[in-house]
Amino acid sequence: MNLEALKELCMAFGPTGREKSVAAIVAKRAKESGMQVEVDALGNVIALGGPEGPRYVFCAHMDQPGWMVEHMDQKGILHLKPLPAGNKLGQGWGIDENTDIYRISSNDDGKKQEAESLGKGYAGMGTYIVPKPEFEYSSEAVFASALSDRLPAAVLLEAANGIDFSHPVAFCFYTGRYIKAAGLLAALDGLDIERCYTLEVLKSSGDINAGMGTVILLRSRQSIAPHSWERELAGFTENLGVKLQKAVRPENFSAADVLSRSGLPSLVLGIALDYNGTRIEKACISDFDDLKELVKTLSSGGKAG
């Protein structure tokens, strides 16, 4: 795991609809790996490698949950709207695009959130705020904010440095995941797709656990993985010595659900996180490295790199 690259992504400001900083990092690192990079009108980053032809496509989102200031009351307290709507972000510290600091808390009824500005800037209606980024690591794990929103992109960018690009491949880093993944559909438009994989994180619980290898999500809310792909991946992971977990999460929404409804079969490749959805999440480095090796193998047409 390239901890420096992951930290750069985790510390970047990128709430839904404001992913410009994250996109710039993604585009720069993809170009450095030798991929041809395009940025579309919505801000999706599409990185192409290998010859022309039907591509293996890997998708990762760039945005993260945050808040938008709805108004400021007479006491100077900022009243917040979660982005996406209904998302639970908890209390603590937040920052805006200029790194001004805010203290986030619940108001008296405990249902809505508000913020007090502690920085020098003025936060008006429409200001975007995200949880204040934090990043720590040990020899076995990473502890950081925004891990669930940055790990998939980090896996693809690190994998790109070890791919021989003998097979046509595309990495799509898409915007607006929570707008029913409309940004993802736009990013894929025009690509000649042979296989499509979405990289996501899943909460450790019951059937899957952090530290136990790559996860294949066999079923989510409206998506069922192609069975032949599952068998193929099981063979690859065995040859690579990579641990493989299989999960069925019909209660979970996945980008694969949107792709399935549009007529494009997709398989979710995932990492299990401890404390997923909390301010500080935990990822095992071995899981990251396992998924990276699997992506490299798939991107090279099934040849282990």
Nearest to 225 by CA among 262, 184, 256: 256
Beta bridge partners of 38: 46
* Fold annotation for 3-64+146-299: Aminopeptidase (3.40.630)
* Answer CATH for 66-131 from 3.40.50, 1.10.287, 2.70.50, 2.40.30: 2.40.30
CA distance 135 to 143: 6
What mean pLDDT comes out for the span 116-132?
A: 82
Mean pLDDT of the chain: 88
Task: Please check the confidence at residue 109 and state whether its pLDDT lies above 70.
Answer: no
Domain ranges of the chain: 3-64+146-299, 66-131
The string of pLDDT tens digits covering residues 145-183 is: 899 999 999 999 999 998 888 899 999 999 886 676 788
Contact 198, 270 (CB under 8 A): no
Residue where the block lists tokens 């790194």: 99
- Neighbouring C-beta atoms of residue 203, cutoff 10 Å: 17
CA distances in angstroms from 166 to 85, 296, 301, listed in the order given: 43, 11, 8
Sign of the CA dihedral running 94, 148, 283, 207: positive
What mean pLDDT comes out for the span 225-252?
A: 87
Please write down the HEC assignment for all residues of the chain: CCHHHHHHHHHCCCECCCCHHHHHHHHHHHHHCCCEEEECCCCCEEEEECCCCCEEEEEEECCECEEEEEEECCCCCEEEEEECCCCCCCCEEEEECCCCEEEEEECCCCCCEEEEECCCCCCCCCCEEEECCCEEECCCEEEECCHHHHHHHHHHHHHHCCCCCCCCEEEEEECCCCCCCHHHHHHHCCCCEEEEEEEEEEECECCECCCCCEEEEEECCCCECCHHHHHHHHHHHHHHCCCEEEEECCCCCCHHHHHHHCCCCCEEEEEEEECCCCCCEEEEHHHHHHHHHHHHHHHCCCCCC
Amino acid present at 7: K
Task: Please check the confidence at residue 24 and state whether its pLDDT lies above 60.
Answer: yes
> How many CA atoms are closer than 13 Å to the CA of 198, on its beta-carbon side?
32
Range name among 65-69, 76-80, 97-101, 274-278 with the lowest pLDDT average: 274-278
Contact 173, 181 (CB under 8 A): no
The string of pLDDT tens digits covering residues 29-69 is: 999 999 999 999 889 999 999 999 999 999 999 999 899 99
CA distances in angstroms from 258 to 98, 152, 162, 185, listed in the order given: 34, 18, 30, 8
> What pTM did the predictor assign?
0.92
Q: Which residues contact 92 (CB under 8 A, 6 or more apart)?
A: 104, 131, 132, 279
Tokens of 139: 């020899």
